[in-house]
Amino acid sequence: MAEKSISHQTKIDDPRPSRFSWWRSGLYALTRALQGQSWILIGGLWVAALALGYVGLLRYNATVGNPQTVKDLFYLLLQLVTLESGAVVGTVPWELEIARFTLPALAAITAVKALAVLFHEQAQLFSLRTLRDHIVICGLSRKGLLLTKGFLESTQRVVIIELDEDNDFIEQCKARGAIVLTGDATDRSVLEQAAIHRARCLIAVCDDDGINAEIAVQAQAVVASRSRTPLTCIVHIVDPQLCDLLREKEIASAEFDSLRLELLNIFFRGAKLMWESFTNTTGRAMQAGSPPHVLVVGLGKLGENLVIHAAQTWQMTDPYPDGRLRVTVVDREADWKCEALTVRYPQLLRHCELNPYALDVKSPEFYTATFFNHHPGEVDLDAAFICLDDDSLGLSVGLTLLRHLRDSQTPIFVRMKEDAGLASLLHTAPDSESAFRNLHAFGLLDRTCTPDLLLGGTHEVMARALHEEYVRGQGVLEPGETVAASTRSWDQLPDGIKEANRRQVDHIGAMLKAVGCTIAPLMDWGAELFHFSMDEIEVMACMEHERWCEDLKMNGWKYAPCEKDVQNKTHPDLLPWEELPDTEKEKNRIPSRELPGLLARVGFRVVRVK
């Protein structure tokens, strides 16, 4: 039903250049030239000029026969700054000559520096009073820095909230034109100062999950009265239990009505991208031969997510019904970690054969590589994923595996923090004959901390799926028919129709609550999909139609019996549910009927509230 509406929204990816970015960047470039190490230089010049002035005054007064006390000399020295004691007659000592010109100049430079800094800070606060449709980033870790660079490069306006005023990344962000506020992002007054009630997106990427969750709670209170498009709040959560708790609120909670909550887990997304790198590199992982055999070294956060994603992907494609994806895991605590995974995901062993090896990657046993399970001249391994937190250790392990796999084309993917540094050593041309061509660096932060990936969260995935279902339901065009705006591909859709789909996703929680249901994370991949009763489908379809009508009426649309008229904002379906033709009612029943499958595609299941 969302496809019928044309709502008005502010673009998430606004291509317009910032009205303030040019003068803000120029102003910061001026003040930055006067800051930093310049204070040390200016301080040294002050000390030298004062010393020369004192010596010069002492020599001058001795020459003219007018001895002065130390206190009087210091008084005259300070007057040199204001040009009041430098007018002397006779021979002037060179020390005094330099000091009486240098000290006033230093005073002027210091004043200009202080005013520039003060003006810059005031200019930032002033611009925040009128700033809108900007991006607010809480936490200037490496993740925050990469996101800031990405948004600024796409001409987005960025406001950063950082608690540590000594953070090394602050200067880099200011130099690029970002506004930086020093303060606690869990403080509502700081969020208000960042103007999140006028922002288009709030991103919490602090190093503490609890702080990120608290930022979302406080942000909801700040934007509670927001009547425009909900604020998209992206929260970085790593802890699995907290992530499961918030995932339910991500879709099902009615508490977040003026705030669209999206969860970010760089390890979850990184695992998906890392697996895609493997399938793109080989091109045959899921298509021919026996089930793939992959090696995972390090079963930390990234390694766990990689195993789960690989098994789930295999379960969905499963070209070999009688075969299981083979995964060899090397970790110092591989046994109990693998057992814990099978407890959390009951269907894991049905689709995946786990072979744990409790080995330290620094041990002699690891260097013998007995876990390959291959005969001389035969390599029984399709890919190796090194998911260690230490870049140097990961590269060393990769080189060790490369030595054992030198006669094969098995790709080895090494997790690195970024694609720079050590990772740059592994970059080779695709057609290179280098001995290291099968060793691939995977920069976790570079791959996951990008604006495009960040804004493609659960709501966006579900909104896209709703649109795809709608397009499939429209059938094939008759000869002479043109493609309607609402049936175009997602990337070609008008922004208003995209937002209409997002708002339909926002309404899912309320509809489920109305029929006594809610959602929960999907752990049992093989579980049968939930089925609503006909009465429940009718209730949800009616609610969706009423929501759609309210959206259109708020945007100035009215009922008219003729065909939809975009220019005059009239629509024949703006009727009460009881008066709606059954063909139009069915358009609302289809999404409600297929909702369990849609939720399963993004990792949720429908459960009935007892």
Q: What is the domain-level CATH number for residue 438?
A: 3.40.50.720
Q: Domain check: are 293 and 310 in the same one?
A: yes
CA 221 to chain centroid, in Å, comes to: 22
- CB within 8 A of 557, min separation 6: which ones? 569, 570, 571, 574
Least confident of 191-195, 438-442, 602-606: 602-606
Q: Domain check: are 299 and 349 in the same one?
A: yes
Query: Which residue has better confidence, 383 or 77?
Result: 383
Residues belonging to the chain: 610
Q: State the CB neighbour count (10 A cutoff) for residue 322.
A: 6
Q: Calculate the alpha carbon distances from 576 to 538, 550, 573 in Å.
A: 14, 11, 9
pLDDT digit string, tens, across residues 207-222: 999 999 999 989 988 9
Q: Domain check: are 392 and 307 in the same one?
A: yes
Q: Give the domain range for residue 358.
A: 268-451
Q: Calculate the alpha carbon distances from 567 to 377, 422, 445 in Å.
A: 71, 57, 46
Q: What percent of the chain has pLDDT over 90?
A: 24
pLDDT digit string, tens, across residues 85-106: 666 777 778 888 888 888 888 8
- Average pLDDT, rounded, for the chain: 80
pLDDT at 41: 80
Contacts of 300-303 with C-beta under 8 Å, sequence gap 24+, read 300/387, 300/388, 300/389, 301/238, 301/267, 302/267, 302/270, 302/271, 302/274, 302/387, 302/415, 302/444, 303/329, 303/331, 303/385, 303/387
Q: Domain check: are 425 and 286 in the same one?
A: yes
pLDDT at 19: 42
On whether the CB atoms of residues 177 and 24 are closer than 8 A, the answer is yes
Query: Is residue 510 exposed (0-12), middle (13-18) or buried (19+ Cβ within 10 Å)?
Result: middle
Compute the Cα dihedral for 569, 570, 571, 575 and give only its sign.
Answer: positive
Q: How far apart are CA 16 and CA 156, in angstroms?
A: 8
In the predicted structure, residue 332 carries a pLDDT above the cut 90: yes
pTM beyond 0.85: the answer is: no
Determine what percent of the chain falls in helix, strand and coil, rounding each to the nearest 5.
50, 15, 35
For 224, the token pair is 């509670």
Q: State the CB neighbour count (10 A cutoff) for residue 563.
A: 8
Q: Output the CA angle 155-127-223, nearest 5 degrees.
A: 85
Residue 15 lies in a domain: no
pLDDT digit string, tens, across residues 241-265: 777 777 766 666 555 568 888 888 8
Alpha helices in 223-363 (DSSP H): 240-251, 266-282, 301-317, 334-344, 348-351
Q: Domain check: are 333 and 239 in the same one?
A: no
Compute the Cα dihedral for 142, 241, 608, 350 and give only its sign.
Answer: positive
CA nearest 139: which of 164, 156, 158?
164
In the predicted structure, residue 425 carries a pLDDT above the cut 80: no
pLDDT at 23: 45
For the chain, what is the domain count?
Answer: 4
CA nearest 332: which of 308, 300, 301, 302?
300
Q: How far apart are CA 424 and CA 434, in angstroms?
A: 14
DSSP state, residue 565: B
Compute the Cα dihedral for 602, 588, 227, 125 and give only its sign.
Answer: positive
Residue 406 lies in a domain: yes
pLDDT digit string, tens, across residues 554-596: 888 899 888 888 888 899 999 999 999 988 898 888 888 888 8
CATH number at 579 reads 1.10.490
Q: Domain check: are 399 and 469 in the same one?
A: no
In the predicted structure, residue 84 carries a pLDDT above the cut 60: yes
Q: Domain check: are 295 and 430 in the same one?
A: yes
Q: Domain check: are 536 and 589 in the same one?
A: yes
In the predicted structure, residue 11 carries a pLDDT above the cut 50: no
Residue 542 C-beta-side C-alpha neighbours within 13 Å: 12
Q: How far apart are CA 369 and CA 385, in angstroms?
A: 14
Q: Calculate the alpha carbon distances from 14 to 134, 151, 189, 200, 582 in Å.
A: 10, 10, 27, 10, 40
Q: Domain check: are 163 and 239 in the same one?
A: yes
Q: Domain check: are 288 and 261 in the same one?
A: no
Q: Domain check: are 156 and 104 in the same one?
A: no
Q: Domain check: are 145 and 241 in the same one?
A: yes
In the predicted structure, residue 395 carries a pLDDT above the cut 50: yes
Average pLDDT estimate for 471-497 = 62
Pick the last residue of a domain from 113, 136, 162. Answer: 113
Confidence of residue 306 (pLDDT cuts 50, 70, 90): very high
SS3 assignment, position 358? strand
Pick the last residue of a domain from 451, 467, 494. Answer: 451
